[in-house]
Structures are given as structure tokens and as C-alpha cells.
């Protein structure tokens, strides 16, 4: 699978009830665990003081990432997503070669 740097900003639409936000956030946590178990969600961070996330995600290609992975997130309709395809760097200290 290919790796992607994914930056996500979630903006809750005005007028959304707290119950709806809570329901979607709970469903999002469940889906994130499923995607991690499937090997799609590798790591996820939240920058200090910001309401966005940055993560390493895996998929066969960018179409799969968008259509079969990110599109399944319960908060997706409220998300702005930026995807950057990644490739190994020859100086990566974490590489095994």
C-alpha cells in the first residue's frame, strides 16, 4: 500500500445540535479504530491548540484513499481534506535498508 500525509480540518455546520455532533464523533472513533485495524490509518496527531488532525494513511492508490477510506468517515461531510502522496526518502533514519 502507498502512504499519504492527510491533513483534516473539521468544521461543524452552524445550527448542528450537540447530540448530532456527539453521535458523529462517537461513530468517527469507531470507524478510525476499524481503519487502523485494516491498515489504512497508521498514525494520527492533533497539532497543539488546533482543531485539525494530521495523519499517515495507507491505500492502494489515491482513488481508494478518497473513495473507500476517507469517504467512510462519519464526519467526512464536515471535513476539508488535503492529501499529499509520500515516497520513501533515502536518508530516512527509520527505514530498514
pLDDT band at 96 (very low <50, low <70, confident <90, very high): low
pLDDT band at 14 (very low <50, low <70, confident <90, very high): very high
From CA 28, how far away is CA 33, in angstroms rounded?
A: 9
57 and 2 Cβ atoms separated by less than 8 Å: no
Q: Which residue has the cell 469517504?
A: 71
| pTM for the full predicted model | 0.91
Question: Over the stretch 19-75, which tens digit does the pLDDT of each residue have?
Answer: 999 999 999 999 999 999 999 999 999 999 888 999 999 999 999 999 999 999 999
What pLDDT score was predicted for residue 50?
87
Question: Would you state the torsion angle of the CA atoms of residues 43, 8, 57, 76, taken in this order, to the nearest 10 degrees?
Answer: 120
pLDDT band at 97 (very low <50, low <70, confident <90, very high): low
From CA 55, how far away is CA 43, in angstroms rounded?
A: 5
What pLDDT score was predicted for residue 94?
84
Q: Which residues contact 16 (CB under 8 A, 6 or more apart)?
A: none
Amino acid at each position: 500500500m502507498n502512504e499519504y500525509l492527510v491533513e483534516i480540518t473539521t468544521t461543524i455546520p452552524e445550527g448542528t445540535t450537540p447530540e448530532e455532533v456527539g453521535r458523529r464523533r462517537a461513530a468517527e472513533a469507531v470507524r478510525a479504530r476499524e481503519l487502523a485495524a485494516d491498515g489504512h490509518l497508521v498514525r494520527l496527531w492533533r497539532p497543539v491548540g488546533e482543531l485539525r488532525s494530521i495523519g499517515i494513511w495507507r491505500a492502494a492508490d489515491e482513488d481508494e484513499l478518497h473513495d473507500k477510506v476517507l469517504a467512510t468517515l462519519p464526519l467526512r461531510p464536515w471535513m476539508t481534506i488535503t492529501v499529499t502522496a509520500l515516497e520513501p526518502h533515502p536518508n530516512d533514519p527509520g527505514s530498514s535498508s
